[in-house]
Amino acid sequence: MKGVKVIGFDADDTLWETETHFQAAGREFCALLAPWAPPEKAAEELFRTETANLGLYGYGAKSVMLSMVETALRLGGDGVTAAVLGRLLETGRRLLDYPIEPLPGVKKTLGELKPRYRLVLITKGDLLDQERKLERSGLKNYFHRAEILSEKREQDYLDLLAELGTEPRDFLMVGNSIRSDILPVLGIGGRGVHIPFRVTWRHEQAEPPAQDPDRFRELTDIRALPALLK
């Protein structure tokens, strides 16, 4: 994969672990809702609420908290007590404050790439939450800039690349989500490296495109990235 000048890195589940915390919160939600719905039903209803709210609330922990409360009231009605709502808010609040530890090999790889490429963090979600996670990760100084978007569609990438003064063919996006990090970037003529994380949120699941040595590769370990670009 030659000729790359700017590398975009997704953050959640690419640089640090996120989805496992959200899945744990989902299980706590199901346990709290047990008096009113079996766990599969509670999980399905929560996913339905989250998906319906995305356009208004966007991504992130605070949106999940609101969707949990909404789903609990829909399933439990007046039976949902202040104590249950309090526990749901606590569950969501913990999603805003867990320790952020870079995944294995992330620091070393960013350190190797930084002198040779412009590195840009490109994440979607809640502005304050994503900024705080970046601070807590200790990775901020590896990046030329950090972009927190509300969505990662083709136009969002085109707008960002125009701001950076970068042609799509000079841009590589690295991330764990085929849907958000890879497909839209390939769609505008950029390149993508997919590094799957062990769990993927249902909303982000998509079929990977065919491997293409010059434009799309899948890696199991971020540490293999510098060699791929040589």
The contact set with Mg ion (CB under 5 A) reads 10, 12-13, 176-177
Which is nearer to Mg ion, 45 or 50 (by Cβ)? 50
Minimum CB distance to Mg ion, residue 89 (Å): 25
Task: For residue 177, give Cα distances in angstroms to 7, 21, 149.
Answer: 16, 17, 15
Which is nearer to Mg ion, 103 or 224 (by Cβ)? 103
Minimum CB distance to Mg ion, residue 24 (Å): 17
Minimum CB distance to Mg ion, residue 120 (Å): 15
CA 57 vs. chain centroid, Å, equals: 15
Minimum CB distance to Mg ion, residue 14 (Å): 5
CA 217 vs. chain centroid, Å, equals: 19
Which is nearer to Mg ion, 14 or 71 (by Cβ)? 14
Minimum CB distance to Mg ion, residue 168 (Å): 20
CB within 8 Å of 39: residues ≥ 6 apart: 27, 30, 31, 33
Backbone angles phi, psi at 43, to 5 degrees: -65, -45
Which is nearer to Mg ion, 116 or 140 (by Cβ)? 140
Which is nearer to Mg ion, 42 or 148 (by Cβ)? 148
What is the CB neighbour count within 10 angstroms for residue 56? 8
Tell me what percent of the chain is helix, strand and coil, each rounded to the nearest 5. 55, 15, 35
CA 225 vs. chain centroid, Å, equals: 19
